[in-house]
Amino acid sequence: MTVVRKAAPLLGGLGVGLLIGLLGAFVQAHRSILIFADRYLVIPWGVLIVLGVLIASIRGVALGSSSRAAAWLVLAGWIGVTIFLASETAGGDIAVSSGARQWAYLLGGAILGSAAATLPTRPFRPS
């Protein structure tokens, strides 16, 4: 019974990472374009939302399970699915293309996710 209790947060974290990677590959492409007189501003709200959900999930799993390993498994699941969807299929389809938003999504997720998974699982209390 104790093995199941120890493995459940790890498998749950991996499942959360897989789900965020799958949904995030399609949501990250959304953006808003604000047109001004002769200029425009592109707001990549899809990338911001997905990275926010990824970081919140990593920290939530780390704090909920008191385990950094579970947090790293969330990130590993996200990276695995994201790399799989960024590669070209036999039919030539690709879910995560190569643009500035997509690079921000890939590198930002890897860097911010690693930072979130590295943070301690308990608050530091000096004695």
Residue 123 belongs to some domain of the structure:
no
pLDDT in tens, the chain (127 residues): 688 788 888 888 999 999 999 999 888 888 888 898 889 888 889 899 999 999 999 999 999 888 899 999 999 999 999 988 888 777 777 777 777 888 888 999 999 999 999 998 877 677 6
- What range does the domain containing 99 cover? 11-117
Residue 60 belongs to some domain of the structure:
yes
Residue 5 belongs to some domain of the structure:
no
Residue 2 belongs to some domain of the structure:
no
Residue 92 belongs to some domain of the structure:
yes
Residue 22 belongs to some domain of the structure:
yes
How many structural domains compose the chain? Answer: 1
SS3 track for 34-95: EECCCCEEEECHHHHHHHHHHHHHHHHHHHHHCCHHHHHHHHHHHHHHHHHHHCCCCCCCCC
Please state the pTM of the whole predicted model.
Answer: 0.86
